[in-house]
Amino acid sequence: MSRYPHPTLQDLPEDIRARILEVQEKSGFIPNVFLALARRPAEWRAFFAYHDALMVPESTGRSSSLSKGDREMIVTATSAANQCLYCVVAHGAILRIYEKKPLVADQVAVNHRKADISPRQRAMLDFALKVCQRSHEIEEADFAALHAHGFDDEDIWDIAAITAFFGLSNRMASFSDMMPNPEFYLLGRVPKQRNP
C-alpha cells in the first residue's frame, strides 16, 4: 500500500529491530510507522528520539503537567486538521485507551468544539490547532488564554512541540501513503479482552 517498500526486520540495525520487537511484544502488532521509516535508519532514530522526548517526557527525566491523554488528543486533533489518515487512526486509538473514552477520538477528529472534553483541554486544542495552521499568528494573547487554564510556559512548549512534531509525521505519512494497521481502528472502542 505504501509507496516505499518496508524493509524486513532482519535487515534492520540491531537497535531498531530491538525497539520494534519490543513494540510488537507490547502491542501485538508492529505499527506501520516503525517499518515505514526504518528504511532510513538515521531518520528513524531521530524521529523516535524526538517522539519519545515529547510523548514520554519521563524517559528524558522530565515531568510534565500534560497527561498521556492530553498528548494524544493534541496529536489526533492536529492530524485531523492535516487530514493524515495514519496519525488520526493510530493516535486516535491510543487516545481512546489513555482517556478511557471510546468516543473521544472521533469527536476530536471531526470537530473538537463538540467533543466531550474539559474546558482546559478545549483551550489546549485551540492553541494546538493555531500552531498547526497559523503558527505565524501566535501571540501573547494565545499564551494568556492557556495561562488562564493553568498551563505554564513549559506546558505550552509541550503543546506546540507535539503539534509541530506530528505536523512532520503527518506530512511523511501522507506523501508516502503510509496506511494505519487495521488493528488501530478498533482499539479502545471495545473492552480489551474482546480484541484479538
Residues binding a second copy (CB under 8 A): 3-4, 40-43, 45-47, 49-50, 52-54, 59-60, 62, 80, 82-85, 88-89, 102-103, 106-107, 109-111, 113-114, 131-132, 135-139, 143, 153, 156-157, 160-161, 163-165, 167-172, 174-177, 179, 182, 185-186, 189-190, 194
The set of residues, in sequence order, having a beta carbon less than 8 Å from that of 164 and lying 6+ positions away, is 131, 135
Q: State in angstroms the smallest separation of the CB of 196 from a second copy.
A: 10
Q: How far apart are the first and last CA of the chain?
A: 23
Cβ distance to a second copy smaller for residue 25 or 42 = 42
25 versus 100: smaller Cβ distance to a second copy: 100
Question: Which candidate, 87, 48, 93, places its Cα nearest to that of 167?
Answer: 87
Please work out, in degrees rounded to the nearest 5, the angle formed at the alpha carbon of residue 159 by the alpha carbons of 154 and 163: 140
CA-CA-CA-CA torsion sign (66, 160, 174, 49): negative
| Nearest residue (CB) to a second copy, 5 versus 25 | 5
